[in-house]
Amino acid sequence: VTVPAVVRPAEAADAPLVRGLLQELGYEARGFDASFARVVGAAPTRVWVAEGDGRVVGVMSLSFTERLALGGTMISIDELVVTASARGRRVGAELVEKAKEVARELGAARVELHTRRSRESYARDFYVKNGFVEVDSALLRWEP
């Protein structure tokens, strides 16, 4: 990416590109198409893509939850990925900046995310460098 990336809401036509990016993150969900169709075009915008050199090089998906304990909305960054050839050029930072901008506009109480400690981005302190603070938290899961 030689030009600064532009972050814009994802559109229906971005589905195959977004699917490819999620594969780079290690996800290959059978229900992807239906899931994407449910959230694309939703307000507030749930899926954002970064475009650089006329192609989509990154995606970030958000979800919004009303948290009683916070007395407001919590925004979660559910997926974030920049294609390997475009990494290290602040595209990821731009996407995270968009999440913060959405939070400010909405008056949200918090932006949160889960990541794996084994990911390279965690080792490189990507989130800390972008203003996030690691908290003491346990993640538990149930899957049918």
Structural contact between residues 1 and 86, judged by C-beta atoms closer than 8 angstroms: yes
Minimum distance from residue 95 beta carbon to ligand COA (Å) = 7
CB-wise, 40 or 99, nearer to ligand COA?
Answer: 99
Q: State the Cα–Cα distance between residues 82 and 24, nearest whole angstrom.
A: 9
For residue 71, the minimal CB distance to ligand COA (Å) is 28
Give whichever of 66 and 87 is closer to ligand COA, judged by the CB atom. Answer: 87
* Mode of pairing for the β-strands spanning 110-113 and 72-82: parallel
Which C-beta is closer to ligand COA: that of 27 or that of 41?
A: 27
Secondary structure letter of residue 4 according to DSSP: P
DSSP state of 52: E
Chain position whose Cβ is nearest to ligand COA: 92
Q: How far is the CB of 82 from ligand COA (least distance, A)?
A: 4
**Would you tell me which residues interact with ligand COA (CB under 6 A)?**
25, 80-82, 87-93, 115, 119, 121, 124, 126, 129
Q: How far is CA 47 from each of CA 9, 35, 43, 89, 118, rounded to the nearest angstrom?
A: 6, 11, 10, 21, 25
Judged by beta carbon, residue 63 or residue 72, the one nearer ligand COA is 63
